[in-house]
Amino acid sequence: MACGAVVFIKIITMRHALIFEGIATFFLCLAASLSPSPIPVAAILCALVYMGGAISGAHYNPAVSVAMWFRGRSTTSRTLAYIGVQVAAALLAAILVGLYNGHSTERAKDLVEALGDSPFDSVTAGITAEFLGTFLLAFVVLMVATSRHTAGNSYFGVAIALTILGAGGAFHLANPSFNPAVKLSGALEGFSGVMLTDDSSWRAFSQEFAYFAHNFVATLIYIGSALLGGVAAGALFVKLFPEDR
């Protein structure tokens, strides 16, 4: 009971950080879902990093939060709180994107056609892209935002944004996210779209659910790959700079 009270008090005292994490993750997921290019995503991320870096550390990504925890810059309770807020923000973004896009007859046709394709056809490329891209992103964040070797720099936001821009362009064929929250938001956004469809809501929902279920395992694999990329980045940083705690 006492332990739970301590955790609750810690969460309350870091409410500003959680608010910033939630707002930024929401807009990052929104940009990633609505933009066909990594350029707007990188631009928004750059601004968001400078906006919240001094308040929350500007994680905006469960994989980055895991990397920070592994590196020793975040407690377990803080990391779990961050990830909880990031997931909540991703779900809210999914709802808004779904309402924005709706569920058109064209989307229904695309969903039905997609059910005929295996979600594992390009899973190797997807895993590779998610792991390497997220590893690079998390390691750059650790180096420019937490390392004593770069302490006091003013380019951390630009470096992080350029990582997303470069990695997104390099791995564009795999359509990676480098962020489990963004991947989750993209997987769920279609459900709220049924609220604006002229078609039968049950039929539209069943189509969205079938598509989600069809890709569920592959989505989990991609999310797991991104989280492993964050762990690998944290492990490498600790290995290279054991004194930098």
Q: Which pLDDT tens digit goes with each residue over 183-224?
A: 999 888 877 666 655 555 666 667 677 667 777 888 899 999
d(CA 158, CA 68): 19
Residue 1 maps to a domain:
no
Residue 2 counted as domain residue? no
Q: DSSP labels for 53-122?
A: HHHH----SHHHHHHHHHHTSS-HHHHHHHHHHHHHHHHHHHHHHHHHH---HHHHHHHHHHTTS-TTTT
Q: Residue 245 falls within a domain, yes or no? A: no
Q: How many domains does the chain have?
A: 1
DSSP state of 199: S
Residue 4 lies in a domain: no
pLDDT per residue over 161-170, tens digit each? Answer: 999 999 999 9
Q: Is residue 51 part of a domain?
A: yes
Domain assignment present for residue 94? The answer is yes
- Is residue 173 situated within a structural domain? yes
Q: Can you give the CATH number for the domain in which 59 is found?
A: 1.20.1080.10
3-state secondary structure of 175: coil
The domain in which residue 31 lies consists of: 13-240
The answer to the question of residue 106 being in a domain is yes
